[in-house]
Amino acid sequence: MRVGVVGLGAMGAGIAQLAVEAGLETVGREVELERAEAARGTIAHFLARKVEQGRLEQQARDDAVGRLGITTDLADLADCDVVIEAAFEDLDVKRELFRELEQVVRADAILATNTSALSVTEIASALERPERAVGMHFFNPAPLMPLVEIVRAERTADDVFETAFALGSTLGKTPIRCSDTPGFVVNRVLIPLLNDCVRVLDETGVTPEDLDAGMKHGAGWPMGPCALLDLVGADVHVHASEALYAKLREPRMAPPPRLVRMLAAGKLGRKTGEGFYRYD
């Protein structure tokens, strides 16, 4: 199987890393060659660290990096069996990408979107053959998080859905099947829960440290909600919250004012060095 990945940001690069580690020939596409080369360098770096940790043989690392091609031209994805779109979380951007991809890939190629909050059905509606589209929602960071949600849109063909599910397993993930409902499974539960946690900070005066300790040691969470939000990024979470609220109009889905203020101030978490916590 030959896999294409469109968009080599943090998520796309992680998905491409999974593919080359799984032995799949992979083509990564970015708008600018410099960004594509930077992503390939990041992947090579992470695989080198696995060699240093004794989790990967040097030859296997070199072979994996050799399986990754990069391009700025969507036409170079023409021979891919599956193309996974991991572009900016904007409906118009993703729909336009799907339209362009349909013009260059084979008739039997599958088009998957990594969207976390948008409707796969709405993205797929840009296609002449929407039955070839499916959601493959990986979690950040993709190489480490074991889950991938396989999302059936309204017109996804059965064989497309099952092929995507099998690909999730091939990439070393635990795939789960779900329907194209707002937030799918995990975010439908997790986003309002994290929003509740942030509201507790302001309503009770508890500190981020104490809230995180409470949820880790009292509820068994592997990571506290504030630390998790800093990892995800306030920008990503607020965007997903707003998308869910727009669809469902449930008050718990709306981003809390504190997170909106953090976003406006550029306190996005680990990526900016400050969120609920400070990072060196």
Residue among 30, 89, 102, 149 flagged as catalytic: 149
Q: List, in sequence order, every beta strand (DSSP E) within 166-258.
A: 174-179
Element (H, E) at 54: none
Residue 13: CB atoms within 10 Å? 28
Element (H, E) at 133: strand 133-138
* 140 tagged catalytic: no
Give me the half-sphere count of Cα atoms (radius 13 Å) on the Cβ side of residue 82: 28
Going by C-alpha positions, the residue among 112, 118, 161 that lies closest to residue 136 is 112
Note if 217 is an active site residue. Answer: no
Strand partners, 175: 148
The C-alpha angle 113, 118, 122, rounded to 5 degrees, equals 80
Sign for the pseudo-dihedral over CA of 62, 66, 67, 69? positive
Out of 137, 237, 239, 241, pick the active-site residue. 137
Q: Out of 116, 119, 195, 241, pick the active-site residue.
A: 116
DSSP 108: T
DSSP, res 79: T
Asked if residue 225 lies in contact with residue 211, where contact means CB atoms within 8 angstroms, the answer is yes
Active site annotation includes 187: yes
Set 21, 89, 114, 187: catalytic member: 187
Catalytic positions are 116, 137, 149, 187
